[in-house]
Structure 1
Amino acid sequence: MKFVKARPYAEPANAAARLIEIAKTLRIDEGRMPIGEWNSTFIWNDKASVAEYTLGRDKLIADGIIKMHECGGFFMWVEPGADGQVPGTNPPQDV
């Protein structure tokens, strides 16, 4: 018998997907997305936990989709490669 509801963002892939949706709605100033707006939307509006936010953020960084600005207060999209695609954003193709 379960007494706890399943958390929708407990899986890093789900949290990362939601963070990308949020990032697309943020104001971007000189290529920078403010971390405060990003995590507050995820934590307060979506009722996610800090641990779920951290899992999603770390997955996006590890997959090469975003990188942290030098000052630590912003995220930036990773520059597209020679093919014009941002690393980690294309699903694998079945051969």
Structure 2
Amino acid sequence: MPPNHFRHVLSDPRRGRGIGLIEQFGLGPFKGVYSLVALVGFALIVWGFSRYRALKSRHDDRRATEVAIAIKSLNRMNELGRAKFVRRA
């Protein structure tokens, strides 16, 4: 008898489809097709991530401008001198 938390998985009618396919085609071909589908899904994930990175890299010139402005303002603040802090007890 399976544990209580696992019973809903076995009673799910969608799970019977996979078992029927295994009985119909055999375990080896089922695993082969399953592996191919998994590889296609992984390839789509990699492709989508590479597209995201390509779109993100288009904004590098804007990022470089922002960094240049930040560096300029930090250098200007450094030229003006640092604030002197007084510790009070």
- TM-score when scaled to structure 2? 0.28
The structure where strand makes up a greater share of residues is 1
- TM-score when scaled to structure 1? 0.26
The structure where helix makes up a greater share of residues is 2
> Relative contact order, CA 8 A, sep 6+: which one is greater?
1
